[in-house]
Amino acid sequence: MTQDELKRLVGQAAADYVKQHVPEGSVIGVGTGSTANCFIDAIAADRARYRGAVSSSEASTERLRGHGIEVFDLNQIDSLPVYVDGADEINALGHMVKGGGGALTREKIVASVAMTFVCVVDASKRVPVLGLFPLPVEVIPMAQASVARALTAMGGTPQARVRADGSPYVTDNGCTILDVRGLQILDPVAFETSVNQIPGVVTVGLFAQRGADLCLMGTTAGVEMTDYRN
């Protein structure tokens, strides 16, 4: 199967999981990216079963509304039974690098209130050590240079993200992103803490302190499920 076919496979598997485990009438958390888009498309057939969704990006909000699914502000919701999102990398403990799509801060916020975090990926995202994919760090614009110096001192090579036309990349929160290359993140929990403590950092795309509870991974043999709560 192609990578796109694997993404559709796990998107459908996540929709089936949510339908089986989440009570009817619930509001569900929905992430950002191509695999999350496959999940959004897959739940559209059962949209009447859910009260609606909380979205981690403007792009996902638009896609959900296009399917007729109501999107709520997180401030309107007390809790989320599930949050479904993709990852750029995931290790054997369910720690992830996320934020290739630029929505890492909102993804972290939605994940923090969800009872169960379901990560949906294809097998290419499984790694023994995090860091091969550039680590995104969302930064207050005035602190970009100082944060870059701090990240360099930590062993990385940060580069400001730009759009295809060369213009600065601006997040949905009005901030910039530094993509940090050259890392081997051997202790993701400690590294996440260290980066978050740099003044000017909004958040880092390490999801280790709040990692995945469950991973649905598309492989050539089908969908492989790993439960990190066991």
pLDDT tens digits along 105-117: 999 999 999 999 9
User: 113-130: per-residue pLDDT in tens?
Assistant: 999 999 999 999 999 999
Q: What is the CA radius of gyration of the chain?
A: 17
pLDDT averaged over the chain?
Answer: 96
Split at pLDDT 50, 70, 90, the class of 3 is: confident
Indicate the CATH number for domain 3-127+209-227: 3.40.50.1360
Angle value at C-alpha 121, between 118 and 126, nearest 5 degrees: 110
Q: Alpha-carbon distance 153 to 168, whole Å?
A: 24
Residue 86 annotated as part of some ligand binding site: yes
Give the burial string for 127-149 (b: 16+ CB within 10 Å, else e): beebbbbbbbbbbbeebbeebbe
Residue 41 has pLDDT above 80, yes or no: yes
Residue 42 has pLDDT above 90, yes or no: yes
Q: Alpha-carbon distance 164 to 192, whole Å?
A: 29
Give yes or no on whether 3-127+209-227 and 135-202 have one common fold.
no
Q: Alpha-carbon distance 85 to 34, whole Å?
A: 10
What is the model's pTM?
0.94
| 3-state DSSP assignment of residue 83 | strand
φ, ψ for residue 214, nearest 5 deg = -145, 140
pLDDT of residue 188: 98
pLDDT of residue 186: 97
Residue 99 annotated as part of some ligand binding site: yes
Residue 100 annotated as part of some ligand binding site: yes
Residue 101 annotated as part of some ligand binding site: yes
pLDDT of residue 201: 98
pLDDT of residue 132: 96
Closest by Cα among 176, 188, 162, 159 to 105: 176
Mean pLDDT of 191-212: 98
pLDDT of residue 218: 94
pLDDT of residue 1: 81
Residue 85 annotated as part of some ligand binding site: yes
Give the residue extent of every domain in the chain.
3-127+209-227, 135-202
Architecture of domain 135-202: 2-Layer Sandwich (3.30)
Query: Which string of DSSP letters, residue by residue, matches 157-197?
Result: EEEE-B-TTSPBP--TTS-EEEEEES--BSSHHHHHHHHHT
pLDDT of residue 230: 76
Split at pLDDT 50, 70, 90, the class of 79 is: confident
Q: Catalytic residue numbers?
A: 107
Give the burial string for 29-44 (b: 16+ CB within 10 Å, else e): bbbbbebbbbbbbbbe
Residue 77 has pLDDT above 90, yes or no: yes
With a pLDDT cut of 90, the percent of the chain lying above it is 97
Mean pLDDT of 40-50: 96
User: 131-178: per-residue pLDDT in tens?
Assistant: 999 999 999 999 999 999 999 999 999 999 999 999 999 999 999 999
Mean pLDDT of 90-94: 98
Mean pLDDT of 72-84: 95
